[in-house]
């Protein structure tokens, strides 16, 4: 469940409230009963791993750098395919 941040307009306190996506936003402060507003804050959501952006949408230069880090080359792969086709 995500955590939403609210600020009370009356007492000025910030509250972090765990809510479902389907829950209605809160409208009253849990401490003083004043009106609160939902804040937009940075998320702590982090994707880790090989990275889909890098492998699927990277620029040609970035893909070349990634291939060289792995020890393979997209050019070498193309040459191998060409050789296989020309030897038949």
Residue 46 located in a structural domain: no
Residue 10 located in a structural domain: yes
Q: What's the structural domain count of the chain?
A: 2
The per-residue pLDDT for range 17-72, each reduced to its tens digit, is 999 989 999 999 999 999 999 998 776 666 666 666 655 666 778 778 777 877 75
What is the rounded average pLDDT of the residues 78-86? 54
pLDDT beyond 90 at 7: yes
The predicted structure's pLDDT at residue 13: 93
The domain in which residue 12 lies consists of: 3-39
Query: Which is higher by pLDDT, 48 or 14?
Result: 14
The conformational region for residue 12 under phi > 0 = left, psi -120 to 50 = alpha, else beta, is left
The predicted structure's pLDDT at residue 56: 61
The predicted structure's pLDDT at residue 66: 74
């Amino acid at each position: 469940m995500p955590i939403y941040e609210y600020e009370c307009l009356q007492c000025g306190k910030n509250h972090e409230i765990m809510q479902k996506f389907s829950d209605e936003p809160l409208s009253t402060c849990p401490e003083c009963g004043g009106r609160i507003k939902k804040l937009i804050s940075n998320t702590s959501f982090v994707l880790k791993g090989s990275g889909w952006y890098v492998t699927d949408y990277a620029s040609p230069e970035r893909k070349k750098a990634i291939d060289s880090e792995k020890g393979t080359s997209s050019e070498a792969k193309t040459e191998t395919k060409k050789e296989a086709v020309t030897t038949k």
